[in-house]
């Protein structure tokens, strides 16, 4: 099976993605990109909606700073 690239048009969602990215970057060790923020949102949605599905993460590790 040939793997194709999936490039959705999320132009209308950029303000929400930017807000999510800013929130993630407030406490993160590594700075998240918009792509990583969207991947995190998809992973969390799958975890809640499809608990039987195991998601293999292909992004930066999200770790928070503990002060």
In this structure, what DSSP letter does residue 64 have? B
Question: What are the sequence ranges of the domains in the chain?
Answer: 11-49
Confidence (pTM): 0.72
So what's the pLDDT on residue 36?
87
Asked if residue 60 has pLDDT above 80, the reply is no
Q: Is 47 helix (H, G, I), strand (E, B) or coil?
A: helix
CB 64 within 8 A of CB 27: yes
**Rounded distance between C-alpha atoms, residue 21 and residue 65, angstroms:** 16
């Amino acid at each position: 099976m040939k793997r194709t690239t999936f490039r959705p048009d999320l132009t209308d969602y950029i303000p929400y993605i930017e807000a999510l990215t800013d929130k993630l970057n407030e406490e993160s060790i590594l700075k998240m990109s918009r792509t990583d923020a969207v991947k995190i949102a998809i992973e969390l949605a799958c975890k809640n909606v499809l608990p039987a599905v195991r998601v293999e993460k292909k992004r930066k590790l999200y770790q928070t700073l503990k002060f």
